[in-house]
A = this chain, B = another copy of it.
Amino acid sequence: MHNTVAAATIPEAFVRLVAMDRSVPRMDAAESRAWLALVSTAELLPAALDAQLQADSQLTHFEFIALTVLKDAEHNTLRMKELAAATNATLPRLSKVATRLESRGLVERQARSDDGRAIDVRLTTAGRRALVLATPGHIETVRRLVIDHLAPEQLDALADALEPLVQRLDPQARWGPKRISGRR
């Protein structure tokens, strides 16, 4: 009645044959397990981070990252373009976020004198304070959810496995340690 019946009648040997045919891509059990874990993590982790930061500090994870990058920048200031690159955001997205953060007094925007198109974003004192208040809870969450459950070798293995993936996903190398120039 249903095609599942047809599938159930396919001989096991034929299934194995097809599984070896790389022109019809398949995944074996170990591959599927790793993929399922990874894709589930990728789906669930951002929501968990957003939920905690939003509840405790009224910040999205992206806003938190943006503020953190600004804090570590010289003079707490970056150009929109630079901040967008450092946070892996498009310029339109960052522009809207900057508008929100500015309306809450956490950052300030100021036109640059040396390039009339460019805008500097600076972390304000209030922004720094908000970040200082938000950071411990966020790190605690990261530890509780992830870090504290992994042995040192696992931490290294995870980083070793995922760093090349990030490079592949992010050809512009916007994320990661700021060795934009030296990579490749």
Contact = CB atoms under 8 A, between A and B. Distances in A.
Interface of A: 2-4, 24-27, 30-31, 33-46, 48-49, 74-76, 88, 128, 136, 139-140, 142-143, 145-147, 149-150, 152, 154-166, 168-170, 175-177
B146 A44 contact: no
Contact of A43 (B3, B88, B159): B88
Task: State how many copies of this chain the complex holds.
Answer: 2
Binding site secondary structure of chain A: helix
A156 B34 contact: yes
Contact of A45 (B39, B88, B142, B177): B39
A170 B40 contact: yes
Given A40-B162, A157-B161, 7 more contacts: A33-B155, A34-B155, A34-B156, A41-B42, A145-B168, A149-B165, A150-B161
